[in-house]
Amino acid sequence: MHEMSLAMSTIDLVVETATRQGFSKVTGVWLEVGRLSCVEADTIAFCFEAAARATPAEGARLHIEHKGAEAWCYECHLTVTLEQRGQSCPQCGGFQLRVAQGDSLRVTNIEVA
């Protein structure tokens, strides 16, 4: 379950950021999850809560924002929306795609006290 290591890294990042800026408590974290990131939102939410125990982020609310996926098709020269990895271009059926967005997991905002 790679979500646990991702949750632990997220907690490390937000606690380090909050501490560096002089805050002692993290009360909320906004996490952007790309459609192609291979991250299950429910699983990372569960892991986030476990990883936050006994840290300044314990009890912080996790807000998950889903990010759609887009790719550039080398065959039809269009930016297209993708629903899943391995999908062909919805316009031309080609598989020569370069993912432009939607394959990442990133912290977009931190709420501190």
pLDDT at residue 1, rounded to an integer: 55
Which residue stretches of 63-104 are H helix?
Answer: none
Question: What CA–CA distance (Å, rounded) separates 99 from 93?
Answer: 15
Residues 51-109 pLDDT 10s: 999 999 999 999 999 999 999 999 999 999 999 989 999 999 999 999 999 999 999 99
Residue 16 has pLDDT above 60, yes or no: yes
Query: pLDDT at position 44, please?
Result: 95
- Return the pLDDT at 2: 86
